């Protein structure tokens, strides 16, 4: 699978301080420049192993966790080497751990339907990501102009974490009341389709819903379709529901 890279990841000068703070907090380890040149402890494995121990016991969960780690290491050793740091982050920290978990559970769960295995992976993925996603969204409740801050941070995220080498995005509305864009090509769907289980993509769509439904009431999250669920695009849309501080009411 070949991927083209794009040089359009430059930083914008003069961004407000609160915008930079939000971006820095959300990027976390990605901005820290953690080395991914060699196999390491698989992201999320400790959380998943702890949850699996509730049903399988400590020994069963540890043995299953070791198999998941081994599968991750195998994929990691043979991974494509993306020049884009953002694509490496998505691939190595989000896609590969979920793929390894799903593949091992499919082999391990005799008599369990594919739908049940997918549901278990969805549950484990949501628990692993929930706290970080909710903290990021709920932060906007403490900002004087939440929609303006969210709109600014969304632009930064599109530029830094979702480069054109992985996504085809088209902004369809960008004003003081709404911010919306459509996605016609998704890196997650492309990768997972290549590895065999495109159905995993919709689990990541579900994480979007988890995060954006937790935004403060001043920001309304709307999305009617996604590529991961079989639609022709992902129609992301956020709208302001009330005047923001410092504005006169109509």
Q: In the structure encoding, which two tokens stand for residue 224, read together? A: 């009617």
Look up tokens 């960008």; give the residue: 174
Q: Check if the beta carbon of residue 217 is closer than 8 Å to that of residue 137.
A: no
pTM of the model: 0.81
pLDDT of res. 208: 96
- Residues sharing a CB contact under 8 Å with residue 173, sequence separation 6 or more, in sequence order: 179, 180, 237
Look up tokens 């303006």; give the residue: 148
* Residue 81: C-alpha distances to residues 4, 35, 36 (Å): 11, 13, 11
More confident residue, 4 or 194: 194
Average pLDDT over residues 166-180: 97
pLDDT of res. 195: 96
pLDDT at 11 over 70: no
- Ordered structural domains, the chain, with CATH: 39-240 (3.30.1380)
């Amino acid at each position: 699978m070949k991927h083209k890279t794009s040089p359009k990841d430059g930083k914008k000068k003069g961004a407000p301080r609160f915008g930079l703070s939000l971006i820095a907090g959300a990027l976390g380890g990605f901005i820290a420049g953690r080395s991914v040149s060699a196999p390491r402890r698989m992201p999320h494995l400790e959380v998943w192993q702890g949850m699996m121990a509730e049903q399988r016991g400590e020994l069963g969960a540890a043995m299953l966790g070791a198999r998941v780690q081994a599968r991750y290491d195998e994929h990691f050793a043979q991974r494509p080497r993306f020049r884009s740091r953002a694509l490496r982050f998505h691939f190595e920290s989000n896609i590969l751990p979920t793929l390894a978990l799903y593949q091992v559970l499919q082999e391990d769960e005799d008599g369990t339907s594919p739908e049940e295995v997918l549901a278990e992976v969805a549950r484990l993925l949501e628990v692993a990501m929930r706290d970080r996603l909710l903290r990021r969204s709920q932060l906007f409740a403490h900002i004087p102009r939440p929609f303006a801050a969210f709109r600014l941070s969304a632009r930064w995220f599109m530029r830094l974490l979702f480069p054109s080498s992985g996504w085809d995005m088209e902004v369809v509305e960008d004003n003081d009341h709404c911010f919306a864009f459509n996605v016609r090509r998704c890196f997650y769907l492309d990768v997972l389709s290549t590895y065999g289980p495109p159905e995993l993509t919709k689990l990541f769509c579900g994480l979007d819903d988890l995060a954006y439904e937790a935004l403060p009431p001043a920001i309304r999250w709307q999305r009617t379709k996604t590529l991961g669920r079989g639609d022709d695009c992902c129609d992301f849309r956020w709208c302001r529901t009330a005047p923001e501080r410092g504005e006169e009411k109509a």
